[in-house]
Amino acid sequence: MKRVIIVLMLLWSLGVQGQDKKKDFKIADGVTGHVDLFNKSMREGVACFRIPAIVTAPNGDLVCAIDERVPSCGDLKWSKDINIVIRRSGDNGKTWTEIETVVDFPFGQSASDPSMIVDEVTKEIFLFYNFMDLDKERDVYYLHVVKSADNGKTWSDPVDITSQISKPEWKPDFKFITSGRGIQTRDGKLLHCMVNLKNGGHVFGSDDHGKSWYFIDTKIVPFNESKIVELDDGRLMINSRVNGLGHRYVHISEDMGKSWVSTPDTTLTDPGCNASIIRYSSKKDGYKKNRLLFANANSKKGRVNLTVRVSYDEGKTWTKGKTVYEGGSAYSSLTLLENGEIGVFFEQDGYKKNPFVSFSLEWLTDGKDKYKKPRKRARK
């Protein structure tokens, strides 16, 4: 019996040591920048910061938006005080402004899940979020947008676009604009994803630079938090979170969202978590290669192992990728810096930190590929 107890104690000790080692994760060596932008110690009374979104503004500044969750770390329907805050950088992420509040409603009303679209034509940034009045209409989701015409320094008053991008009969449904970012297509359209957990995913957009918004009434399934990109041939591709499968789903449209072909991508391991996909380069912009970037928690179970991959064939296949952080890694958002480097803004270690990390394409590909300034200016 004593031997059994000794063996059990030894196994327990080894297990504890193993857990301690697992907890001692660090951001990968070789990155060019790393700074924790948001944690609860930065503002008194804040329970946590969650749901990161990053874009590169028309002037090259970086804009990071996130939920400031005050009384608790709960999601929108569980918290009466969630605000949208940002930090900005004018030097590719080396230094940042102090935390600035963009959306702050009276107690009882909350704003959550920021996402952004940059309009390269009008030089405006649109910031979307989901709104709820927990005192008067608990469980009723409204969809809002604000915009900035000065690269994120100041923002307009909120505009409720719920009636433009959803159906009246959806009022009691769990619906939301997916956090992260949307896109501007080559012909100037603004496109983004929204989710109704009862009625599938949908694309919404604007053809007049955000003066008005429309809803494409085509159900996309399976669908949860998703990101949209325009492929080099003009087709649209959505990369979707799907819970319980251990991998991502991809949806392709050849008719600007009127119809979709959906297929699983078992090569993109995923625990059921929000991810990020953006275009890095296009031959149409003077680059020698088409490149897409994808970031997610690369794990079938558990939100860990933030990995960034490259696709050279418009999302048909992906590189093995490189791990930015092995430890706790949840939602992530990618952007392209003015100097050609890549920036990722993500939730770390159970939402305790929200770092910005930058690195070169050469680092990401272990020297197999590197950034070369195109003959024509690349779009972000």
CATH code for the domain of 223: 2.120.10.10
- CB distance 260 to 252 below 8 Å: yes
- CB distance 319 to 309 below 8 Å: yes
* Adjacent-strand bridge partners of 112: 130
Residues ≥6 apart with Cβ < 8 Å to 84: 65, 66, 67, 68, 101, 102, 103, 104, 111, 112, 114, 127, 129
CA distance 119 to 190: 8
| Residue 5 domain-assigned (yes or no) | no
| Residue 63 domain-assigned (yes or no) | yes
Show the 3-state SS of the chain. Answer: CHHHHHHHHHHHHHHHHHHHHHHCCCCCCCCCEEEECCCHHHCCCCCEEEEEEEEECCCCCEEEEEEEECCCCCCHHHCCCEEEEEEEECCCCCCCCCCEEEECCCCCEEEEEEEEEEECCCCEEEEEEEEEECCCCCCCCEEEEEEECCCCCCCCCCEECHHHHCCHHHCCCCEEECCEECEECCCCCEEEEEEECCCEEEEEEECCCCCCCEEEEEEECCCCCEEEEECCCCCEEEEECCCCCCEEEEEEECCCCCCCEEEEEEEEECCCCCCEEEEEECHHHCCCCCEEEEEEECCCCCCEEEEEEEECCCCCCCCCCEEEEEEEEEEEEEEECCCCCEEEEEEECCCCECEEEEECHHHHCCCCCCCCCCCCCCCC
Q: Which of 61, 67, 68, 75 is catalytic?
A: 75
Written as six digits, the tokens of 206 are 């604007």
CA 270 to chain centre: 14
Average pLDDT of the segment spanning 148-158: 98
The residue to which tokens 């600035």 are assigned? 100
Q: What is the pLDDT of residue 2?
A: 41
Active site residue 347: no
Q: What is the pLDDT of residue 342?
A: 98
- Output the average pLDDT for the chain: 93
| Residue 330 domain-assigned (yes or no) | yes
Written as six digits, the tokens of 270 are 């995923």
| Residue 3 domain-assigned (yes or no) | no
| Residue 375 domain-assigned (yes or no) | no
Residues ≥6 apart with Cβ < 8 Å to 251: 201, 220, 223, 226, 237, 238, 240, 260, 261, 262
Active site residue 119: no
Q: What is the pLDDT of residue 3?
A: 46
**Domain containing residue 347:** 27-364
Question: For the chain, what percent of residues have pLDDT higher than 90?
Answer: 92
Active site residue 217: no
Q: What is the pLDDT of residue 24?
A: 83
Q: What is the pLDDT of residue 374?
A: 83
Q: Which of 129, 287, 325, 331 is catalytic?
A: 331
Mean pLDDT lowest among 13-17, 300-304, 312-316, 362-366: 13-17
Task: Please calculate the CA angle 191-193-195 and round it to the nearest 5 degrees.
Answer: 155
Task: For residue 231, give the amino acid letter.
Answer: L
Residues ≥6 apart with Cβ < 8 Å to 339: 92
17 has a pLDDT exceeding 60: no
The residue to which tokens 């503002």 are assigned? 43
Domain count, the chain: 1
Confidence band of 376 (pLDDT split at 50, 70, 90): low
Tell me: the pLDDT tens digits for 214-257?
Answer: 999 999 999 999 999 999 999 999 999 999 999 999 999 999 99
- CB distance 238 to 190 below 8 Å: no
| Residue 376 domain-assigned (yes or no) | no
Q: What is the pLDDT of residue 195?
A: 98
Average pLDDT of the segment spanning 133-157: 98
| Residue 6 domain-assigned (yes or no) | no
Average pLDDT of the segment spanning 158-187: 98
Tell me: the pLDDT tens digits for 300-324?
Answer: 999 999 999 999 999 999 999 999 9
More confident residue, 376 or 201: 201
| Residue 94 domain-assigned (yes or no) | yes
Q: Which of 225, 230, 265, 314 is catalytic?
A: 225
Q: What is the pLDDT of residue 22?
A: 54
Q: What is the pLDDT of residue 327?
A: 97
Q: What is the pLDDT of residue 301?
A: 93
